[in-house]
Amino acid sequence: MSPAADRAPGATLDVRSITKRYGDVPAVDAVSLDIEAGEFVTLLGASGSGKTTLLRIIAGFADADEGSLLVDGQELRSVPVHRRDIGMVFQNYALFPHLNVEQNVGYPLRMRKVSASERRRRVAEALEAVRLPSFAKRRITELSGGQQQRVALARAIVSRPRLLLMDEPLGALDRNLRDALQLEISRLSRELGLTVVNVTHDQEEALTMSDRIALLDKGRLVQFDSPDDLYHRPVDDTAASFVGESNIFRGAVRGDGSLDVADGVVYSPPSLVDGSAVGSGAVAVMVRPSLVEITLPGRAPEAHSRVDGRVSGIVYAGDSRKIIVETAGGAELIARENAARPLDVGVGQPVTLHWDPRSSIVTRLADETATTAASAPTRKSVSA
């Protein structure tokens, strides 16, 4: 879609206190989002977080119990699905196997009774946008998974929707192809000026593709921020533990700035993420595994945070190596180091993990009532 006039305009989307209950359980709990025109927003969360339910409500496949959906300032909830002017890309692509590529892409236009000549022109532009101009006559069964995903994307944009919704569009692809298409979809959305709402449970995908990420947990909105802010400035321990690998320690900060833990001492930076002073109650102190160093017991710098334990596993992950350390209290912590470095520890060996306190992030607890036993560190399990 090369001419600027033919590009999708990109709509604003205001999600205002949307609530959806199944029985007494809120699947979406008063979620509000203000999405700008041309913005790429990802709904991120684990299974059961409410992200897909919220996307279905926006699409019109489900209705909210409460709240408003405004597209360019107009209420959307009362508008039927087929009149919402929304493009949709599904995880399974939902392509018609008995139609060729050109016919699949042109199907939405045919349903809108667009003339044949206009339909051919716009289908050609959509296929050019997804870099499949020579595939128009191919059958769907002759395409790879990545090519089918591009056809589904072309079909979603051919009618130039105000809003593009994507439901785990890369979930069925292998890792290398998924990585390539993340960049491809980001490029396309920006070139066409699309407003995109994407759903995924893959945090790497969300961080790579998004202008902003809405992190959901048990139906509620935890944080709506840029990838950088979500990663480096999580609003609470739920956000800190979900996005990226993290070692998290929960408890009250003492007068000397340390958090008393059973297997060592963790020093806190001077202030919370939200600017309030530490020492006012229980908090979470987080450090990323790549900032943690590993040494023999008794050799850590005195000014560093440090925790003792025993190596319980070593995992190789391409250019990095993950060393898992179990403390005497049973908690698992991670140090991640360059795989090119000589490995000087082994499984079963006593070690000390240590890091500069300035590498820590202090944030609040999502549920302060659950922190009375807060001296034990916790580690979020993340695959290599």
Q: What is the pLDDT of residues 283-334, one digit of tens each?
A: 888 999 999 999 999 899 999 999 999 999 999 988 999 999 999 889 999 9
Asked if residue 275 has pLDDT above 70, the reply is no
d(CA 289, CA 324): 10
In the chain, the domains with their CATH numbers are 4-228 (3.40.50.300), 247-379 (2.40.50.140)
Convert the pLDDT of each residue in 132-169 to its tens digit. 899 999 999 999 888 888 898 889 888 888 899 999 88
The Cα diameter of the chain in Å comes to: 78
Q: What percent of the chain has pLDDT over 70?
A: 90
Does residue 277 surpass a pLDDT of 50?
no
What is the spatial distance between Cα 116 and Cα 113, in angstroms, rounded to a whole number?
A: 9
Q: What was the pLDDT predicted at 270?
A: 59
CA geometry: angle 66, 69, 71, nearest 5 deg = 170
- What is the chain's mean pLDDT, rounded? 86
pLDDT over 90 for what percent of the chain? 53
Closest C-alpha to 146, from 124, 123, 112, 176: 176
Collapsing DSSP states into helix, strand and coil, what is residue 61? coil
Segment 55-81 shows an average pLDDT of 94
Q: Look at residue 300 in the predicted model and tell me its pLDDT.
A: 93
- The answer to whether the Cα torsion of 83, 86, 90, 96 is positive or negative is positive
Confidence of residue 282 (pLDDT cuts 50, 70, 90): confident
In this prediction, residue 179 has a pLDDT band, given cuts at 50, 70 and 90, of confident
Calpha distance 281→275 (Å, rounded): 14
pLDDT in tens, 229-261: 999 999 999 999 999 889 999 888 777 778 867
| Length of the chain, in residues | 384
Q: In the prediction, which pLDDT does 279 show? A: 53
Residue 55: which of 212, 206, 163, 170 has the closest Cα?
Answer: 163
**Mean pLDDT for the stretch of residues 119-138:** 90
pLDDT digits (tens, 9 = 90+) for 88-112: 888 777 889 999 999 999 998 988 8
What is the full DSSP assignment across 91-148?
Answer: TT----TTSBHHHHHHHHHHHTT--HHHHHHHHHHHHHHTT-GGGTT-BGGGS-HHHH
Q: Taking a C-beta distance cutoff of 8 angstroms, is the pair 347, 324 a contact?
A: no
The reported pLDDT for the residue numbered 276 is: 47
What pLDDT shows up at residue 263? 82
Q: Do 156 and 88 touch, CB atoms closer than 8 A?
A: yes
What pLDDT does 379 receive? 45
Burial of 312 per CB tally in 10 Å (0-12, 13-18, 19+): middle
Q: Note whether 188 and 153 are within 8 A (CB).
A: yes
Other CB atoms within a 10 A radius of the CB of residue 339 amount to 13
Q: Residue 369's pLDDT is what?
A: 38
pLDDT greater than 60 at residue 371: no
